Amino acid sequence: MNNLYTSAMAVALLTGTAMAQSGTEHWAPVLKTRAGHSAPGHQTPVDANRDVVWSNDFATPSDWTIAHDGNFNADFQIGVGLESQGDFGTPAIESTTAANGYAMYDSDAAGNTTTDYEQAHITTAAPIDLTGHPNVILSFETQYRRYNDEQTFLVVSTDGNFPTLDDPLMDISAMPGVFRVWEDGELTQGVSPGNPTVREFNISAAAGDAPQVWVRLQFTGIYGYTWYIDDISIYDQYQYDSYMLNGFVSHRGDGSEFGRIPSTQLGSQMNVGAWVINKGYDVLTNVTASASSTAFATVSTNAASLNPGDTLFFNEWASVAGLATGAYTVDYTVTSDQSGSEGNMANNNWQRTFEVTDDMYSLDQIGGHPEGTEVLTYFGTNQFTGGADGVMGFTYYPIIEEFAVTGMQIELANGTVVGGTLQVSLHDSTTLMADDPTPIEVSNDHEVTQADLDAGVINVAFDNPVTLDPGAYYAGITMYSNENANDIRVLDDLTVPQPGISSALFLDATLYSNINALALRLSSDPTIGMEESRLTGVGVYPNPSTGLVNVAFVNTGKYTVDVLNSLGQTVQRTRMNGTSTMDLSTMPKGVYSLRISNGTATTVDRVVLQ
């Protein structure tokens, strides 16, 4: 059995690229999440020029037989405008032909509190004739979230008989024609990977060239979410089809792919690689997979041949020593001797992006991904039972050189309400992995304002810069919503699957790995958090300066001027009653920040000492 779609995370786990998972990592066993943003699907679409043998768009419910096995009485529905009726509803599918109907199994609304597995299924009412089509692919569009151990199956039969699938964890290796819709490692608990997601399966061995084929889709589990299905089709497999499954670029080589990396944390090399699969039914020869970018010299690998269903993988280290700040794109490409004969050249490429920054460090890359690929959800106070006040979220940050954190930036999701309160914090990874969220440093409370909602981000400063030595740390956020009267939601970037416990949440004294890339960013910018109270009427000159710097004020009053070095540390403080001159001639040459405050408003000017 060959499921043609494999997520980056699943492959990373299989190849050992992903970060080792902590023994304290959990998928929340009793906490059910509400739906986040309805994320658009971003997987490579099925080739529109394929030769379709059979298709069904669920416009006619009688095309399908609805039934269930076992003792629990719950069934699929087929119709127009179906929506989950459960307490934790999953948004309806946004499929190609959703307007004329789709299938839905609403396990959430069924509310199964028994120990009996739900075994609901839909089956084609009439057989499908695949005579003359020995090599075939089945695909469908779906919207789905997994709660715990429930399983979704695709089953094809050539005699109208189907195996009993009464256990989501059962071994199906000896069951011809049975496929798991999602393999282990492909889903983050409670999160839809895209709406819709296209799933493809090679059913040639089970049903190719058969005069009669029945198709079944089955849910097996206890009290899951909602499963939507639409636009199912069977089409001929191409003879030659090299598919760039995924590409990665990591500055740490642990499977994590950070979106924004300060130059001080980049290092001299980046881990670059890709996976290619032969989706055709014939052998590919002289297969070359490569990654090219203005950030590094092209890296590649070659295989003399690649059999149908086999995967080519490369994993290299590319030099990025001295890489300038800016945005970079990595283009991944696969070629072979058969490239000119391929049926679908559109799936031979992949892209990743990252940014080298002066002062921003973020696992997420919201707003910077290749166009049309971004997939977002959220983490918030209304998401988990008992999480309204005091729920904590975390994002992992490796530090390779001393890094002075002046504050954090949080990107908000829709549904955040004015009046909630949050704190940001820093944590040692060893302590947090022991289910102990005691911080290294914590900020003052920040109350969410309308200005925050308008900006879409919140910048929170620590009272003093926190210098992190080389090691592993987590940025943290604690949120309070006044019993959900003032909910706070933070964006979670699903675009690039991240390994292990790159982002996490803490609730009921336990750390859970339910988050992918929480938009909780470290900053070394000394001006962070000062946007809302900017001091005006201040001039600093000359700039550049050889040492003497004039600070001029339009308005009289008492002012404090702090001189900060490149690490954000205060190296001099001067109090002024009006325009004055500062002598910085004893300081080393370089760029300094002057933080000027009158007690209620602040501004920062940068000065270059020559």
The single-letter DSSP state of residue 337 is T
Residue 106 placed within a domain: yes
The torsion region of residue 388 among left (phi > 0), alpha (psi -120 to 50) and beta comes to alpha
Same domain? For 226 and 81 the reply is yes
Task: Report residue 195: phi and psi, to 5°.
Answer: -130, 100
Point out the domain boundary residue: 214, 236, 258: 236
Same domain? For 86 and 182 the reply is yes
Same domain? For 232 and 162 the reply is yes
Instruction: CATH number of the domain at 540, please.
Output: 2.60.40.3080
In which domain, by residue range, is 263 found?
Answer: 242-361
Same domain? For 142 and 161 the reply is yes
Residue 419 placed within a domain: yes
Instruction: CATH number of the domain at 58, please.
Output: 2.60.120.200
CA angle 469, 471, 476 (to 5 degrees): 90
Same domain? For 108 and 126 the reply is yes
Same domain? For 436 and 551 the reply is no
Residue 92 placed within a domain: yes
CA 122 remoteness from chain centre: 31
Same domain? For 223 and 76 the reply is yes
Same domain? For 419 and 468 the reply is yes
Point out the domain boundary residue: 308, 331, 361: 361
Same domain? For 55 and 200 the reply is yes
Q: Name beta bridge partners: 609.
A: 545, 590
* The pLDDT of residue 49: 65
Residue 421 placed within a domain: yes
Give me the residue label for tokens 């992995």. 433
Instruction: CATH number of the domain at 256, please.
Output: 2.60.40.10
CA 383 remoteness from chain centre: 17
Q: Considering only CA atoms, which of 34, 345, 309 is closest in space to residue 190? A: 34
As for how many domains the chain has, the answer is 4
Give me the residue label for tokens 């209620």. 600
DSSP codes, 295-323: TEEEEEEEEEEE-TT-EEEEEEEEE-TTP
Q: Name beta bridge partners: 403.
A: 468
Same domain? For 423 and 437 the reply is yes
Q: Can you tell me the distance from the alpha carbon of 47 to that of 346, in angstroms, rounded to the nearest whole number?
A: 8
Instruction: CATH number of the domain at 447, please.
Output: 2.60.120
Instruction: Report the chain's terminal Cα–Cα distance, integer Å.
Output: 68
Residue 72 placed within a domain: yes
Burial 47-84 (b: 16+ CB within 10 A, else e): beebeebbebbbeeeeebebebbeebebebebeeebeb
Residue 412 placed within a domain: yes
Point out the domain boundary residue: 196, 215, 236: 236
HEC letters along 69-135: ECCCCCCCEEECCCCCCCCCCCCCCCCCCHHHCEEEEEHHHHCCCCCCCEEEEEEECCCECCCCCCC
CB-side neighbour CA atoms (13 Å) of 600: 3
Which mean pLDDT values do the consecutive 10-residue runs of the chain (610 residues) have?
33 29 32 43 53 97 98 98 91 97 97 96 99 98 92 98 97 96 84 89 97 99 97 97 95 95 97 96 98 97 96 96 96 98 93 96 96 90 90 97 96 94 96 94 91 91 94 97 95 90 91 90 85 75 92 89 75 90 91 80 80
Same domain? For 293 and 231 the reply is no
Residue 405 placed within a domain: yes
Q: Can you tell me the distance from the alpha carbon of 217 to that of 155, in angstroms, rounded to the nearest whole number?
A: 6
Same domain? For 218 and 258 the reply is no
Residue 26 placed within a domain: no
